[in-house]
Each structure stands twice: as structure tokens, then as C-alpha cells.
Structure 1
Amino acid sequence: MDLLFVLAGIVILLILILKKVNPMLSLLIVSVLTGLMLGLPVQKVMSSVTNGIGSTLGGMVMVLALGAMLGKLAEDSGAAKKIVYVLIRIFGIGNIQWAVLLTGILVGIPLFYNAGFVVLIPLVFSIASAAKLPKLYVGIPMAAALSVTHGFLPPHPGPVALASIFHADLGKTLIYGLILSLPIAVIAGVLFPRSIIRLPLRSKDSDPLTLTEDAGLPSAFKSFVTALSPIFFIAAGTIGGLLSVNPFARHLFEFLADPTVALLFAILLTLVIQNIPLQRAMDSCAEGVKGVAMIILIIAAGGAFKQILVDSGIGEQVKTLTANLPVSPLLLGWFIAAMLRITLGSATVAALTASGMVIPLIGAGAPAELMVIAVGAGSLMLSHVNDTGFWMFKEYFNLSLKETFKTWTVMESLISVLGLIGVLVLNQL
């Protein structure tokens, strides 16, 4: 019976989202209603909401804020654009998709999905025009790369929130995510568009690709350091901590691997090497945090809903019902997140809603770090008309609904399924 009440809460959440109620308000309303329907006392409902918000944000709010600051610094300093031009020069027109794919991954690490999309889309159109290639042929690699980093890699909101909720090691989550992200991005971003898009015939005398580089951009070295430094600090700290036998060195590496410390060092390093006037840099940081304020509030409300489900024992009921099923807990986590994604639209809301149900599934056969990626992969499944990303892709590329389903929806579903397969393979190693 309790599961029916949870289902009713999810239906109410779907109705509110379809009515265009703000996702944060929707999650908060449904958290309270679901708690009351599950028979929790009023005081317990409110304490669960408060505890859920506190426990979720406590471990990640600084990571999200610092990540947003670094992303905005990369955007405003021109580092993101510089990376595009460097990779285009290295790869050339024959491998233009690889250049755009790597650009999307590098830019997608510090930038959130929507910001990365808006920053890169004019450059994608410029490349397509100069190379005389279909926009989708160049644009899908960029979108696939941003989706992969959004679903699998900290410091993006979904993976960071799930890692906090599941008490997963963020460094290990990042390493697993990197292992899966590159091959998945290649399949969904390079091989997939090549299979569906017919290229125009080119003569041998065609003009070479020429892109006029904006003046005043930072150097390539400074740009790549800005984009990659947080990943370097977290990965180096995690690997160093695992390999080090000296207690002092191990503690030092563990300190460096902390995502808050890594992002703080990355921002300080960016301020030094980019030589940005301090006041302008601080303005960029403030704007970056403003851009993710609502995301942080949505995650907070998602944490409240998660705690209601945990305190009501729903997760244990799910565990009991699925105990005898001959399937991996990681597959169940992916499936629950995928069903919520298809129903609710938002990847972040789907992942957070699923988290409260799958926490009891985490164990020896389902490490917390892999559950983060499994749920993140499920939250990308079958994007359609209730997802803002679907409409952003459709409008920017001027596609029909049918064309958007054949490109964007298939690409997102491909990333989701490949993510699940990758997680199951890693779990067997």
C-alpha cells in the first residue's frame, strides 16, 4: 500500500511539473504530501524535510558553488573558446567531429550543461558553415559530450548530489565516470551521427576550413589548465591516496582529492594564470553562483523528498520486493531512474527522486560509486517533450519533432544504455 502512496506522490509531481510549477516548489509540496500519505506524524514530516535538505546540501553546496564560479571564469576569460580553436587546428577538417567532441568534454567539465551548450553552439554553427557540413553532424558530438559529463562526471549537480546522498567517494566516482565517458561519447557523438547523416560530396579543391580566432583570448596552456585543473587535483589526490604508504602523504593526497579543496585550488590557480582583474573575476564568480542558485534549491528539495522516502521505510520495501529478483541492484537503480526520467522529464529531478528508493540497494554487489553512475545514466534515458533539453536542441537546430526524436532522443537513450552496460562491466572487474 505504501508503494501506491509513493506512486501517487510521483503522479502529483508529474502534474505539477506539467502545469509549469517550479520544480523546487513541486518537490517540496510532494515531499510533505507523500510523508503525510505514508502516515508520518506532521512533526516527523517537517523534521525529515529539514534533515533531508541539510544532509544533501551540507556535503555539496560548496562544490556546486565553486564549480559554477570556475565555469563562469572559463567562459568569461575566453578559455572555452580558445580550447575550440586549438583543437580545430590540431584535428583539421577531416576529424572535425573529434575536435568538437573533445571540446565538449573539456568545456563540459567546469560548465553546467545549459551554459556549455549556449557557449559552444555559436562556434558549432561557425565550424559547420566554414567546413560546409550539416549542423547536426558537428552539433551532435558537442551535445553528446555535454550530456555525458552532465550525467557521469562531478562537479555537475546530479553526480555530486548522488555522491553526497549515497556517501560515495567523489574521487572514485570521477575516475569511473572518466573511464566510461570517453568511449560512450565517441559512440554517441561520432559514430551515431555518421550513421544517420549523409555528408555532401566535397571536391579535392574545396577551400580549407578557416575560423577567425577572436582577439584577446588567453593562451592554450592557460585555457586547458583552467578547464582541467579540478579533474587533475581530484584524480591525482585519489590515486595518490590509494598508492601512498606514508601516512602524512596519504592525508595530504586525501586533502587534495576533496572536491571542495580541488575546486578552490583550481579557482585560485585560474585567477593567477589568467591574470584577470580581481574585481571582474569576483563579478564573474558572483554571476556563476546566481546561475546555479535555482539548481541548488531544486537539489535541496530533492533531498527532502529522498529523506521522506528513507524515513518512511520505502527503500527497505523496495529492497525486500526485489531481493529475489535475478537482476543486479545497479540495473534496478538504473531502471527506477529511467522510469522517473521518462515520466518527469528533468534528469536531475529523476535522479534525486530515485535516490531515496535505491539507497538500501547499495552494498557489496553494488558499490556506491557505481550506483551514482547507474542512476545518472538512467536519468538520461529517452528524453522527450517534457524535457527542456529536448526543446533547446530542437529550436537551436531548427528541427521538426520527428527529427528531434531521431537525433536527440536516440542519442540520449544511447548514452543511457551504454552507461548501464559500462557500469555492469566495471562491477564485474
Structure 2
Amino acid sequence: MSLLIVLLGIIILFILILKKWSPMIALLVVSMLTGLLLGMPVAKVTASVTNGIGSTLGGMVMVLALGAMMGKMIEDSGAARKIVAVLMQTFGLKNIQWAVLLTGLLVGIPLFYNAGFVVLIPLVFAIAAATGLPKLYIGIPMATALSVTHGFLPPHPGPVALSVLFHANIGKILLYGLCLSVPIAIIAGIFFPRLIIKKNSIQLKENLDFGTEEALPSASKSFFVALLPVVVIAAGTIGLALSAGPPFETFFTFISDPTVALLIAVILTILIQDVPLQKAMDSCTEGVKSIAMIILIIAAGGAFKQILIDSGVGATVAAMAAPIKLSPLFLAWLLTAVLRVTLGSATVAALTASGMVIPLIVPGVSAELMVLSVGAGSLMFSHVNDTGFWMFKEYFSLTLKQTFLTWTAMESLVSILGLLGVMLLSLLI
């Protein structure tokens, strides 16, 4: 009966989102309604909502805020455009897909999906016009790279939130996520478009105009600030694994903390940028404003998660799954994928699934791989209830059928490959 009530809650959530309600309001309404229908006392419902919001945001709000600051400073300083220009000139037009893919991965790590898409889409159109290649032939590698970083790599909201909820090591998530992201991005971003899109007969130009670069930062500075958060977190995690003991262990533990790593990255970026301090502070403020609603949606998702845990639904799912003898990693992916198809938003789907998935994290099941499994499931079969679907459709002027055959197929491929990669990693670590 409890699962039927949860299903009813998810259906109501789907209807509210379909009716253009804010996901934050919809999640809060459904959280409280589900708790009451499950027989929880009113006081316990409100306490669960409060605890869920606090426990979710407490460990991640600064990570998201600092990550948004980094992304906005990189965008406003021109570092993202400089990275694009350098990679294009290095790879050449004959290897243009590889350049766009790598650009998407580098830009996608510090920037959120929507911001990265808006920053890179003019580049895609410029390359297509200059080379005669179809826009989708250039655009799919870009979209794939941004999608992969969104699903698998901190400091993006989904992986960060799940790492807190699952008590997973964010440094290990980053390392495992990179192991998944690169091959998946190559398969879905390079080989997939080559299978479905035929190149036109083209005359490649010798040079591509990237616009005025005099005002842009240097290449070394641009790459340094873009990769700084990843490098600091990875260095701390690797150093912690290799260190023999104090004082090195203390130091690596300190810098591997994502809040510390991102704070270091923000401070160094402010110091080395050739911009007035006030402009850098304005960029930081605008960056946080841009993710305010994302943070609130995550908070509301944390409330729903806590309702599912405190009501015992998560334990019920775990008990029902035990006799099935399926991998908890697969079950987590499947639950999240179903919610993704139903609800649309990858972040909302991941957070909604988390309350049912947490009891599956038993001894022998890696919390880090569970984060990546849920992340993979949250990318499955994007369709008309996902804003990313419409963004891709409208920018590339596609029909619904064409969007399903390109964007939806690419997202589904990334999701399935992510599941396979997680299962492979579970055998190796």
C-alpha cells in the first residue's frame, strides 16, 4: 500500500510539473501530501521536511555556490572562449568533433549545463557555417560532453547532492566519474553522430575566425582556472590514498574537501584574473543568483527524500528488492530512470529516487558507484517534459521526430553506457 501512495505522489508531482508549477513548490506539496497519506503525524511530516532540507543543503550549499561563482568568473573573463579558440586551432578542422567534445568537457566541468550550452552554441554554429558540416554533426559532441559532466561529475548539483545524501567520498566520485565520462563522451559524442548523420560535401577552410582575442586571458591562465577545482580535489584524494600518515594525511584531507577545494579555486581565480575586484565580486554574485532556484529545488527534493526515509518506504523497497537478486546498482539506475522519464528533470529524478535508494547501500555496495548509477539513470530518455529537450530542439530547429532521434537517443545511450560502466567498475574496485 505504501508504494501505491508513493506512486500516487509521483503522479501528482508529474501532473504539477506538466502544468508548469515550479518544481520546488511541487516537490514540497507532494512531500507533505505523501507523508500525510502514509499515516505520518503532522508534526512528524513537518519535522521530516525541515530535517530533509537541512541535511541536504548543509553539506552542499557552499559547494554549489562556489562552483557557480567559478563558472561565472570563467565565463565573464573570456577564459571559456579562449579555451575554445585554443582547442580549435590545435585540433584543426579535420578533427573538429574531437575539439568540440574536449571543449565541452573542459567548459562543462565548471559551468552548469544551461550556461555551458549557451556559451558554446555560437561556436557550434560558427564552425558549421565555416566548414559546411551539419550543425548536429558539431552540436551533438558538445551536448554529449555537457550532459556527461552534468550527470557524473562534481561540482554539478546532482552528483554533489547525492554524495551528501549517500555519505559518499566526492573525490572518489570525481575520479570514477572521469573514468566513465571520457569513453562515454567519445562513443555518444563522436561515433553516434557519425552513424546517424551523413557529412555533406565540403571544402574545409584553412583557418576559422574566432573573433577578437586581444581582450581574452592567456591560454595557460584560462586552462588553469577552468581545471583548478578538479585538480585540487583530485590531488587531495590521490594524496590521501598514497600518504603514510600525518602531517600529509591532514593536509590532503583538508584540500580534498570540496568546499575547501572550491574556495581555494575561487580565491586563486580572483587573484590571477586581470579584472577589478569589484567586477569579480559582481560575477560571483550573478553566479549564485543563477543557481538560486536549483538550490531550492534540491532542498525540496531533500524534503521528499526524508519523507520516504522516515515513513519507512525506503526500507520497504529494500525488502522487496532483496529476493529479486538484482544488483543494487542496477535497481538504483532503474528506479531513477523511471522517475526521469516520468518527471523530466534529471536533478529532480535523482533526488526523488535517493530516498528509495539509500537503504540499498549495504556493506559491499559502493556509495560512490551508487551516486554514479543514479546519475546515469537520471539521464535516461529525455523527452517533452525536459527543458533540455526543448532547448536542443529549438536551437537546432528540429522537428519532434528529429529531436527524439538525436537528443533523446544520445541521452539514452549515455545513460545505458553509464550503467554498464558502473557495473564494470564495481567488478574492478
Q: TM-score, normalised by structure 1?
A: 0.98
Counterpart-to-counterpart distance in 1, 2:327 and 2:80: 40
Counterpart-to-counterpart distance in 2, 1:424 and 1:63: 28
Match of 1:207 in 2: 205
Deviations 1:114-137 (A, max 9, x none): 000001101111111112211100
Contact 2:91/2:98 (CA < 8 Å) preserved in 1?
A: yes
SS at match of 1:366: coil
Alpha-carbon shift at residue 326 of structure 1 (Å)? 2.3
Identity of aligned residues (%): 69
Alpha-carbon shift at residue 364 of structure 1 (Å)? 3.0
Match of 1:125 in 2: 125
1:264 aligns with 2:228: no
Counterpart-to-counterpart distance in 2, 1:129 and 1:366: 49
Show the 5 A alignment for 1:34-183: 34-183=34-183
Alpha-carbon shift at residue 303 of structure 1 (Å)? 0.2
Counterpart-to-counterpart distance in 2, 1:354 and 1:21: 20
Counterpart-to-counterpart distance in 2, 1:202 and 1:121: 21
What is the letter of the counterpart of residue 339 of structure 2? L
Contact 1:127/1:211 (CA < 8 Å) preserved in 2?
A: no
Show the 5 A alignment for 1:305-344: 305-344=304-343
What is the letter of the counterpart of residue 383 of structure 2? H
Match of 1:300 in 2: 299
Contact 1:171/1:235 (CA < 8 Å) preserved in 2?
A: yes
Counterpart-to-counterpart distance in 1, 2:347 and 2:31: 16
Match of 2:194 in 1: 194
SS at match of 2:247: helix
SS at match of 2:383: coil
Alpha-carbon shift at residue 207 of structure 1 (Å)? 2.8
Counterpart-to-counterpart distance in 1, 2:245 and 2:30: 50
Counterpart-to-counterpart distance in 2, 1:207 and 1:50: 59
Match of 2:374 in 1: 375
Contact 2:389/2:403 (CA < 8 Å) preserved in 1?
A: yes
Match of 1:397 in 2: 396
What is the letter of the counterpart of residue 25 of structure 1? I
Deviations 1:360-415 (A, max 9, x none): 00123421100000001000000000100000000000000000000000000000
Counterpart-to-counterpart distance in 2, 1:362 and 1:202: 53
Match of 2:277 in 1: 278
Match of 2:232 in 1: 233
Alpha-carbon shift at residue 201 of structure 1 (Å)? 2.0
Contact 1:70/1:267 (CA < 8 Å) preserved in 2?
A: yes
Counterpart-to-counterpart distance in 2, 1:365 and 1:337: 21
Contact 1:141/1:189 (CA < 8 Å) preserved in 2?
A: yes
Alpha-carbon shift at residue 269 of structure 1 (Å)? 1.2
What is the letter of the counterpart of residue 211 of structure 2? E
What is the letter of the counterpart of residue 281 of structure 2? M
What is the letter of the counterpart of residue 247 of structure 1? P
Q: CA RMSD in A?
A: 0.8
Match of 2:385 in 1: 386
Counterpart-to-counterpart distance in 1, 2:312 and 2:73: 43
Alpha-carbon shift at residue 274 of structure 1 (Å)? 1.6
Match of 2:241 in 1: 242
Counterpart-to-counterpart distance in 1, 2:367 and 2:218: 39
What is the letter of the counterpart of residue 305 of structure 2? K
Counterpart-to-counterpart distance in 2, 1:277 and 1:259: 27
Contact 1:85/1:213 (CA < 8 Å) preserved in 2?
A: no
Alpha-carbon shift at residue 202 of structure 1 (Å)? 3.3
Deviations 1:171-230 (A, max 9, x none): 001100001000000001000001111111235xx4324123323010001110111000
Contact 1:131/1:209 (CA < 8 Å) preserved in 2?
A: no
Counterpart-to-counterpart distance in 1, 2:417 and 2:364: 20
Q: State how many pairs are aligned.
A: 427
Alpha-carbon shift at residue 327 of structure 1 (Å)? 1.2
What is the letter of the counterpart of residue 170 of structure 1? I
Counterpart-to-counterpart distance in 1, 2:179 and 2:332: 20
Counterpart-to-counterpart distance in 2, 1:127 and 1:207: 10
Q: TM-score, normalised by structure 2?
A: 0.98
Alpha-carbon shift at residue 417 of structure 1 (Å)? 0.2
Deviations 1:318-354 (A, max 9, x none): 0110101121000000000000000000000000000
Deviations 1:275-297 (A, max 9, x none): 22100000000000000000000
Match of 1:349 in 2: 348
What is the letter of the counterpart of residue 288 of structure 1? G
